[in-house]
Amino acid sequence: MHQAFPRCTSRASPSSLPCLDQPGTSTGSSTERAERQRGDVNVDQVTGPVAHHGEGPVWSERWGGLRWVDMLAGDVLSLRADGSVDRRHVGSVAAAVRPRVDGGAVIGVERGFALEDPNGTVTRLADV
């Protein structure tokens, strides 16, 4: 199964939906909350199929946009501004990716974690 990631085209944005044009969207006005509750959100597919088992999309200004994992491929994917997707292999499993306060990312890998520094260097931590 492949998963593509949508772009919001309305002001409403459910917290579970990555919105490429509205990073950090808050709870919004009462009208926006009502739109979310009704499901009044327009989305557009911005890539073709790019992941076998896509999981955990997260937006961060720290890394310049949207990232998610292709879990069983062990890859972290990044959506570029031009719509292309970068893929970085980090291990046999990539379970999650989340931003670090000072840049880079924490990546959940099989049996542990890896830390990505702001310069892109990935360091695998001891297994847990």
Quote the domain boundaries for residue 91: 6-124
Is the pTM higher than 0.75? The answer reads no
Count how many residues are written for the chain. 128
> Residue 34: what pLDDT?
65
Q: Is 1 inside any structural domain?
A: no
What's the domain count of the chain? 1
Q: Can you give the pLDDT at residue 2?
A: 39
Q: What is d(CA 73, CA 92) in angstroms, rounded to the nearest whole number?
A: 6
Domain-embedded: residue 49: yes
Contact 36, 12 (CB under 8 A): yes
Ramachandran sector of residue 121 (left: φ over 0; alpha: ψ -120 to 50; beta: rest):
beta
| pLDDT of 26 | 47
Residue 92 lies in a domain: yes
pLDDT tens for the chain, 128 residues: list them: 334 444 444 344 344 444 444 444 445 566 666 666 666 677 788 888 999 999 999 999 888 889 999 999 999 999 988 889 999 999 999 999 999 998 999 999 999 999 999 999 999 999 98
